[in-house]
Structure 1
Amino acid sequence: MVVRLNRHDEIQRTLLAALLLAGSALAPVVGLSPALAQAALPAQGGTSEPVRRFAIPAGPLDRALTAFGAQAGRQVSVETSVVRGISSPGVTGQMTAAQALSHLLDGTGLTARQTGNVVTLGRDSATIALAPVRVGGTAPRRGGRALAETATGPVRGYVAHVSNTGTKTDTPLIETAQSVSVLSRDFIVDTGAQSVSQVLAYTSGVQSQPYGFDSRYDQFMLRGFGANTYGNYRDGMRFATGSFAQFRSEPYEAERIEVFRGPTSVLYGSNNPGGLVNFVSKLPTATPTREVTMVLGNWNRFQGEFDLGGALDAQGLYRGRITGLVRDSDTQVPQTKDNRIAIAPSLTIRLGARTSLTLFGEYQKNLYPMWPYYYRSAQGLTHVRLGDPAFNALRQQQYYFGYKLEHRVNDVVTLRQNLRYGRVFFDGEFTDAGAVLGPTEIGLYSGRWRERLEGTNIDNQAQFRFHTGPVKHTLLFGVDYFRQRLDSEYGEGNDTFTTLMPRSLTHPVYGRVAIGNLTTQSHTYQTIDQVGLYGQEQLVWNRWHVLLGGREDIVATSSRNQMTGVTTTNNPRAFTGRASLLYLFDCGVAPYFSYSTSFLPTSGTTSAARGTRAFAPTRGDQYELGVKYQPHDFNGSITADVYDLHEKNVLTTDPDNVRYSIQTGEVRSRGAEIEGVMSLGNGLSAMAQYTYTEAKNMRSNTAQGKIPVAVPKNAASLFLMYTVPGGMFRDLGIGGGVRFTDKNWADMANTQHNDALTLFDVNLRKAFGPVTAQLNVNNIANRRVAICNTGNCTWSMGRMALGSIRVRW
């Protein structure tokens, strides 16, 4: 359940100031009627409360409520904006929870009243609802200190209750009428995930690492559609992407990673219809964070991590945090590296009781194999590498910086502005098969991609929370801007039959290739400018939850051939929308229905015979029917859904001129998903999922009726973790998981398939006070199968063993 704070004062007409930057202005606020706040917080059962000892110092009310939740044995998930700027006198001594809460609220203008199992906070005769407060279990903890859950903050165990990825407002997941998964920090640590792709391996609706081992990118598909190109988000803002250059996110820097399935354009603009993955960064908190970790693993892995932060002054006006990682490692592709340096500082400044500014940034330097592929013969995939260690390196540097500014005008109006600017410098060199020279020999050519990628995001938001009679409203208006610049150059050498570099298929020798001069084959400069205006209304009446949203996007794209001087442009615009209905029963069951749409600009033109017309955006639409369950008697949640998703205006080969395409294609994906997650007070946590996906090319001139590449019909997984709560084995953790991926097609014609794959993972850990030792072995049986994607083939990820020592103080 969620606590809401709503004020019962006459709300004066308020004029909303225009949001700063780029001249983006938002409409003024109209007059609002008085709020009728009637939400309540359920309390623990029983009429006589036990007496407990409380020791909560005076200070900000949000911190006091967090400490109260921990000491009273209650989990508190509260929107911090409602108590921001209010101080509490604290409480010390032996008393009941109700008495302690009354002391905490002394002098705040708020009073507590308990009726049965309902606790209500009020001011004079008016009621102020606490909003989502959940009772049962213990409060989230980090390093032995209690924490409150917010939409972007830490999650205790595996079960999150609040998110803003699906609505851009802090909304309980049980009230979000679309499929959203949250992977918590604890889950990431327990699974030993070393990439975003590995984090997603236990999530419903996601095909993680669909093309086999490839450390260059975090690759994932959502509901049968590729999502890592346009659905790669960090802190609610899309990353720019090039042909090869892509912003990478380091899992150690994540507070949580969230998956939003289905069309997302109504809030985020252009995207494939499958959904997006939002990486939520670690940012400063009032609770001190002090952690250092050392990791050793197979493939000569040496890795160090640190996470340090907390209040920088006694008043808590300044909070800082810095997270970093250094890694030197080989990979399962011999003579290649997986090296990384990453550092992410952030600073939060309270500019008053109602205003906060968070500055953030990140720098990464990475070294990976550029070409992880192997030669496939008529008999199957071999172990002959196509990339040669003398010329097989992907060197990438990236940085970004930005800020998150929030100002709470009053209890109704909140203004936000999020900005980020970043760049990627990419240089990738490789060798690949160019021709078959004989029955036991192939010839290699060489190539190099160089890309410079630049991305800018600005998202301006105005949020209004108010009541009209018995109806509660959360109204959101926004104007966002996305800008991308990409300079991409490709050169090639050894590309004639006489200059190909020979490689034996029976006795290959590596590291002795003679790379010739590379000649530029293509050089383009591409730009994207996108402006979106969006609005969203969330209405709550009784137990009905209605969401209506709409967005208009205006996009300008251009591509200049730097070798010929020819520039092509396209200026599409699109309207997208979403509507949903949910009913929340007292027992925690919430059936829902939603309809949503998407769009994605498509580059290129038709043939001259068809008028050389610029392509229209692809359009997606989805119907989703589901049910969510959040039980009251234990900390867990279950989501089950079925969906029907279509993408139209898909490119397919022009039958009159095979060098061009036309937009008559259509792809359909239908499926069902069920996902359950729990964290029990007895030390048991679990995540389980099953996914059924039926994808098909409904209209295509080359693949009519065929199943898209790399989309399995069935996938399932289960991860369990048990921590001994007491006794001589206290704090000993034992866990493991199993992951199954069905066979799937390796080519568009559906003539070759990738085998089904079942993998087993194990986890052991033991805490010794502030020191935790942990062992993770993923794919313990070292099961590997050939994975091909329309001609490019590699092997699936082999066994990864990691041992770590983590110190928190």
Structure 2
Amino acid sequence: MFSRKTRLAVAIAAACSFNQALAAEQEQLELDAQTVVGSADESAVDSYRSTPSSAATKLDLTPRQTPQSISTLTRAQLDDFHLDSVNDALKMATGIQVQEVETDRTYYTARGFDITNFQYDGIGIPFVYGNVEGDIDTAVFERVEVIRGANGLMSGTGNPSATINFVRKRPTATPQARIDLTGGSWDKRRIDADVSGALTAAGNIRGRAVYAHENKNSYLDRYSREKNVFHGVLEFDLSDSTLFSIGHTLQKSDSNSPLWGALPLNFSDGSKTDYSRSTSTSADWAYWDVQENRTFAELAHDLGNGWQAKAVVTHVKKEGDGSLFYVYGTPDRDSGLGLFSYPSEYQDENRQLIGDLQLNGAFALGGRQHDAVLGASWSRSELEDISWYDTTTGTALPPLEDWSGNIGKPLNDAGSNGSDFTDRMQSFYGAARWSLTDRLSLITGARVVDVESSGGNYGSDKTTKYSGEVVPYAGVVFDLTEQYSVYASYTEVFDPQTETDASGSRLAPVEGVNYEAGIKGELFDDRVNLALAVFRTEQDNVAEMAGMVGGRSYYRAVEGLTSEGYELEISGELLPGLQAMAGYTFVDITDANDDHAVTYSPKHMFKAATTYRVPGLEQLKVGASLNWQDEVYNGIAEQDAYAVVNLMASYDIDPNWTVSANLNNLTDEKYLTSLYWTQAYYAAPRNASMSVSWKY
């Protein structure tokens, strides 16, 4: 086996030699405009400003033209604050709550509801259990778009929380390369490599390759994780009007002694526990390995007269393998006793096949130009998983203060159970942006959805079928001036749920309506986006965490939930050299009795990130970020309001070399990562990292 130093040297040498070859060819390239169709945006390197997106309506619109709240985490922001995981990135997104219930399993919420809509380049993916296992690395993404509110046009359902769209890195016409080496607290070691450019003298074939490797220990006792990520994309100009793209992403995340469940939140007398931040309930032999292979093929054809057809096929294979240790019970305040063991081994495999076909373009009617999109999508998700149980379940454990993780491995001698089910969804969608006047536009659309599930889940029948469900969408935008617009939108909600009740049966679909209105602006020669939104959502059958059984969570359906509030966001270059993104969110959620509901979600959140290039010393960039939220509780515990401050600084030694440093949790704030479950653990204390970057 090669040593880490050897692998590092090989990676750097390969990247450098590849780009030397590209540089030699660069002078020979004479590309017409068609060649760069679909290539990544190479401008606005430092910008935090949101860019045009089709993630909300499948129509390529600026944020001001989109009648919904939309934010963008740009590549510059991801790099400045070393947001190497999706969890870290979304913690900076306005209105998003990252519910880190365990070290390797995460839920996401917005406006008080679970986010179950993830997209890759605008194509929705099935969310089998409503969460992410492992860790999604951001090395392969150009940016991350967040569309808040119901989004039935894009995802096939009208979930009113938010949609997260991951925009993958694509090949560039001109050669470029970048390598980052990072070291940090708890023995963090990371390398990122990214090379791109034309592969032929004519420039009609282009490629991009991204590799990332990370290995680190943790502030948590016994926990460590290693990640390996590869992303490759090839683009072929089949003709002046036809572009074919094919790509593959592999991510492997291997965790040692991960949390399965977390810490008890109160003692048997009802008082609050207060463990050390390093306390972990995991066993020393536990592990959780997750691997995902994601392949896509895309064919885009320019039909002329402003019309384009595009077909995308995606195949996903995700595998998980773990030997895990869950701790349950309520400890005694004086002795610490009262906790018991629940070991288990677990394997799963999820295969997904997703297809999307769309036609979009402009048409004339009534003497005005309008835009339209028509399409169809189809997906199939097949899941098989199995859990093995052990006769040692229920073994009394020592106090967590004395727990070293030393306990016998499971014998798997108490039987097994599992799931084997298939989810299918097919839909037809259409939308149009009607230019009613020079200042008034109307967006109308609908998606017709068929959803079907078959098979079983831990002994429960998962057979369900919904046909011909219609999810309508309507939005209006009026330009007050050349800089400001007001908007309003309406969407119905139909959202089949993955959550199950105590018996293992899936809950009925969520149904309801979503309203949103606001004002948006483009300031300072379009360098800054400004948005204010007010919203209201009414829903029935919403899943709410009800407890744990056999190490698995179960839910109950809640009727008459209403979520209403407002959001304010600003992003872009506020002053020369000053980039910023800041957002404030207020959400009030009540149940049918007008009582406060979904109490694990904060009413108030404020998030901000800013960087500044120092005048007279523009090689130096300094910055800071702030995440603040008010108190939350879940019936058995509460988390007081807290703020997390992060700092960054970077210095460009020359056009190719940069050094940077990041300091996270400056004030060493101690807080629980989430109260989404009835167990939780503490977030990381103050930590730091340093990086050296080379770019071409």
Correspondences of 1:296-695 after superposition (within 5 Å):
296-368=183-255, 369-371=258-260, 373-378=262-267, 379-383=271-275, 385=279, 387-435=281-329, 439-441=335-337, 442-494=339-391, 496-497=393-394, 500-540=395-435, 541-560=437-456, 568-602=463-497, 616-633=508-525, 635-650=527-542, 665-679=559-573, 682-695=576-589
CA offsets per residue over residues 251-306 of structure 1, 9 Å max, x none? 11110100011111122213632121111110111132211110101011000110
Q: State which of 229, 232, 237 in structure 1 corresponds to 2:123.
A: 237
CA distance in 2 between counterparts of 1:268 and 1:506 reads: 46
Shift of 1:724: 2.6
Structure with more contact order per residue of length (Cα contacts < 8 Å, sep ≥ 6): 2
CA offsets per residue over residues 752-777 of structure 1, 9 Å max, x none? 32221111110110001110101111
Instruction: Name the counterpart of 2:642.
Output: 757
Q: 1:361 to 1:518 in 2, by over 3 A?
A: farther
CA offsets per residue over residues 630-673 of structure 1, 9 Å max, x none? 0243611101000001222336899xxxxx99967122110100
CA distance in 2 between counterparts of 1:248 and 1:350 reads: 34
Q: 1:421 to 1:329 in 2, by over 3 A?
A: same
Instruction: Name the counterpart of 1:115.
Output: none
CA distance in 2 between counterparts of 1:777 and 1:788 reads: 26
| SS class of match (1:509) | coil
8 Å Cα contact 1:444-1:494 kept in structure 2? no
Tell whether 2:55 aligns with 1:159.
no
How many pairs were matched up?
649
CA distance in 1 between counterparts of 2:358 and 2:28 reads: 35
Shift of 1:790: 3.5
Shift of 1:606: 11
Instruction: Name the counterpart of 1:6.
Output: none
8 Å Cα contact 1:572-1:616 kept in structure 2? no
Instruction: Name the counterpart of 1:705.
Output: 595
CA distance in 1 between counterparts of 2:170 and 2:230 reads: 13
What one-letter code is carried by the residue in structure 1 that aligns with 2:346? W
Shift of 1:58: 8.9
TM-score, structure 2 as length reference: 0.86
What one-letter code is carried by the residue in structure 1 that aligns with 2:483? G
Residue ranges of structure 1 left out of the alignment (5+ in a row): 1-55, 65-78, 85-141, 655-659
Shift of 1:469: 4.1
CA distance in 2 between counterparts of 1:197 and 1:405 reads: 31
Q: State which of 159, 176, 183 in structure 2 corresponds to 1:289.
A: 176
Instruction: Name the counterpart of 2:6.
Output: none
What is the aligned-residue RMSD (CA, Å)?
3.1
Shift of 1:157: 0.9
423-432 vs 380-389, which moves further: 380-389
Residue ranges of structure 2 left out of the alignment (5+ in a row): 1-26, 547-553
Q: 1:411 to 1:376 in 2, by over 3 A?
A: same
Q: 1:571 to 1:333 in 2, by over 3 A?
A: same
CA distance in 1 between counterparts of 2:479 and 2:500 reads: 48
Q: 1:248 to 1:785 in 2, by over 3 A?
A: closer
Correspondences of 1:97-176 after superposition (within 5 Å):
157-176=47-66
Q: 1:690 to 1:459 in 2, by over 3 A?
A: same
Shift of 1:177: 1.0
Q: 1:676 to 1:495 in 2, by over 3 A?
A: same
CA offsets per residue over residues 536-592 of structure 1, 9 Å max, x none? 01112311111000110011111325769x673434541101111111244310110
Residue identity (%): 21
CA distance in 2 between counterparts of 1:771 and 1:604 reads: 49
Shift of 1:530: 0.4
The higher radius of gyration belongs to 1
CA offsets per residue over residues 425-470 of structure 1, 9 Å max, x none? 1122222224468743232221222211111111100112122244
Instruction: Name the counterpart of 2:108.
Output: 220
Shift of 1:80: 5.2
| SS class of match (1:362) | strand
TM-score, structure 1 as length reference: 0.75
Instruction: Name the counterpart of 2:17.
Output: none
Shift of 1:389: 3.5
Instruction: Name the counterpart of 1:776.
Output: 662
CA distance in 2 between counterparts of 1:157 and 1:580 reads: 28
